[in-house]
Amino acid sequence: MDFNLLATAPGSDARAGLITTDHGTIETPIFMPVGTLGSVKSVHQHELREDVKAQIILGNTYHLYLRPGIDILEKAGGLHKFNGWERPILTDSGGFQVFSLSDNRKLTEEGAHFRSHIDGSKHLFTPERVVDIQRSIGADIMMALDECPPGTADFSYARKSLHLTQRWLERGWKHFNETEGRYGYRQAFFPIVQGVVYPELRRDAARHVADLGAEGNAIGGLAVGEPTEKMYEMIEVVNDILPQDRPRYLMGVGTPANILEAIDRGVDMMDCVMPTRNGRNGMLFTRHGIMNMRNRKWADDFSPIQEDGPSYVDHVYSKAYLRHLFIADEILAMQIASIHNLAFYLWLVGEARRHILAGDFKSWKTDMVECVTRRL
């Protein structure tokens, strides 16, 4: 994987760059739709390509390992061939999913012992095993196994957790460098910076990660219960240390405003289930604000969902029609809303990139944050 930093914005840490993988080039800053099981919910692959204009999607190691299973993915020739997505794929290590199973997992120096949420069967994720699984999945970018403590964790727990994550990282990094991919193309490995909301721990984690010299780095353990301003503070603390010439991936964030604020602080890559999850429940994000499509006010509003600017779906559906679909529990409602929201997120980061390159990102971002946080 290669990264070229093309521009930084005056008065901001916002950056525009290019990530080159063997499955294609990614223009940063970028938002990555979440395809946990090899599928972005409610969205077909051709819609991801043509309507959403996604450049990279995510898969999840924990879920893909359990179902369909590594044997099936290897027989298929990797996830790209299994799901028909020819562009880049990033896989989370599964650490967040394992650690969310608080009643069905145990952490040891060896790794994470857990029971499947599907059938209760016992499994073990070690740092080495997680690398091997992601080799079999065939992700262009794979993540290190880490522990993700809650945003409310106290300092003692956060420090103990971070030190375990760092020891796991050393093992995973070593194993990654001693192994090769299965399908004839390059794979990159991203370490993850943890440390909850404690600057001392975040700096320690960032220095440890930076010293490895990996092709890119991730910031984890944010948007998990801590105040938003603390999240922004931790991004600044970490990005003061992480190398400038490597992409920075903020994991699991967030709202349109979160994304713009993260870009302003030097983040290059982001993902979140919000555009699809909220979309399936009737929430639409637009350049003018947020709409709840179940509200009565849209029942006789025959104007397009997106009145000015790009239309994100094949047809210009009206607000009234989309509300009708949601009230009637029609599956098409979830599809339209998911495509719209994802395409809006991709439009938003694309506009951020354009303004970074034009040199007026800071003023544009200030105005756009005010717009996207309105309730319509």
| Residues marked as catalytic | 92, 271
How far apart (Å, rounded) are the C-alpha atoms in residues 110 and 344? 42
C-alpha gyration radius of the chain: 20
Q: What's the sign of the alpha-carbon dihedral 174, 180, 183, 184?
A: positive
Query: By the 8 A CB rule, do 48 and 33 touch?
Result: yes
**Burial grade of 213 (CB within 10 A; 0-12, 13-18, 19 or more):** exposed
Q: What's the sign of the alpha-carbon dihedral 161, 162, 163, 169?
A: positive
Beta-carbon count within 10 A of 220 CB: 28
Q: What residues pair up with 269 in beta bridges, in sequence order?
A: 30, 249
Beta strand residue intervals within the chain, DSSP E: 2-8, 15-21, 24-28, 30-32, 57-60, 89-92, 105-107, 112-115, 122-125, 141-143, 188-190, 192-193, 217-219, 248-250, 269-271, 283-286, 289-292
How far apart (Å, rounded) are the C-alpha atoms in residues 179 and 110? 20
